[in-house]
Amino acid sequence: MKYLFNWEKSIKEEELNKVIEVLKNNGLALLPTETVYGIAANALSDEACKKIFSAKGRAQDNPLIVHVSDKQMLYKLVKNISEVEQKLIDNFMPGPFTLILEKQNIISNTASAGNSTIGIRMPSNSIIHEVINKSGIPLAAPSANISGRPSGTNVKDIFDELKDKVDCIVNGGECKIGIESTVVKVINDVPTILRPGFITEDDIEKVIGKVALSDKLFKKVTKDDKVESPGMKYRHYAPKTKCILVSKSENQINIINNILKKEKSVCILGFSEDKEKINTNKFIDMGSKENLNEIAQNIFSSLRKIDKQNVELAIIEGVEKKDLGLSIMNRLVRACENNVI
């Protein structure tokens, strides 16, 4: 890493020029977005995009999302936008929303992993917006983490993991949302959620009508399965420690306390309200179960705390698979590698 900048309070013009210089030279910049941090590079350059794949250890067939600053830039990168797609763009961009569209040739084939489509997102975070806007460079940026590990939502959590893999790091504080964008592809005029995120099924239904959910969201997908979104195939968000997810039920706390009677080397990832009810001194607080936004914001840094507990097993409390809860459970099920009771 050549540069480490702190823009928590404000964007510094001179440093901004340095970040742009890194990107123009096909380097990698760790930048905040409103969802999670991203490892960003010039989306028009094969050389730059290849560096993202090797920095993350990412499978070659898993395409990147390209970030734009405004609609003008978006229209230069994609083609054949349908009426439904246009409505989605008008309603959800800028924001935590990614739309899969037909790509123009200028986008690097490395970014699209050889596909004719590309995921496009217009982040609302002012730091990444300003970098794209001032440089005029669309940025390919996957979540900031080594592939398979939980996404990074603050610089402290990912500094050691990524400091030697990128050319510059911009600290923009904690990400406001904390869970990745909703990835949508319009299939036969129906918006289909390939990855649930902060924008919920309900949010989309309100502006478009019918919405479909990929049937793979909670399935164990293997390497050779054919999926709409290659990211679903891989181990994801997982701590090194073995994790079990306890589905939401009336007995959730009894189930956990019973496991705690048998197993000794255990930590719990649970809700603030349950801390006193669960018999453990290794409790990681994900936030209040009444506040899904708070849980979403804490989810990845909480998952990252598990490995620091030096235990053999982590038990995670689940939420109802509804609204933002669906997206939270998607991440937790994957973090537990489908170990759900």
Q: List contacts with ligand TXA (CB under 6 A).
A: 33, 35-36, 38, 62-65, 96, 98, 100, 115, 117-119, 121, 141-143, 180-181, 183, 194-195, 228-231
* Phi, psi (rounded to 5 degrees) for 121: -140, 145
Per-residue binder mask for Mg ion (CB under 5 A), 240-269, x = binder:
------------------------------
Distance of CA 39 to the CA centre of its chain: 11
Ranked by CB distance to ligand TXA, the top (closest) residue is 231
Task: Write out the binding residues for Mg ion, residues 124-153 only, by CB under 5 A.
Answer: 143
Should residue 98 be labelled a site residue for Mg ion when binding is judged by CB under 5 A? no
Q: Report, in Å, the least distance between residue 130 CB and Mg ion.
A: 23
Smallest CA-to-CA distance from 301 within 123, 142, 158 is with 158
Contact between 181 and Mg ion per CB under 5 A: no
CB nearer to ligand TXA: pick between 100 and 269: 100
CA gap 328, 318 in Å, rounded: 9
CB of 25 to Mg ion, least distance (A): 25
In whole angstroms, how far apart are CA 153 and each of 30, 207, 220?
A: 11, 29, 26
- Asked if 28 and 137 count as a contact pair (C-beta separation under 8 A), the reply is no
User: Which residue lies nearer to ligand TXA by CB, 64 or 278?
Assistant: 64
Q: Which of 139, 131, 55, 100 is nearest to 228 (CA)?
A: 100
In angstroms, rounded to a whole number, what is the distance separating the alpha carbons of residues 208 and 333? 29
Given ligand TXA, Mg ion, none, residue 173, with its beta carbon under 5 to 8 Å by kind, binds none
Which entry of Mg ion, ligand TXA, none binds 170, CB below 5 to 8 A by partner kind?
Answer: none
State the minimum distance, in angstroms, from the CB of residue 14 to ligand TXA: 25
Measure CA of the first residue to CA of the last residue in the chain; give whole Å. Answer: 43
Q: Which residues bind Mg ion (CB under 5 A)?
A: 143
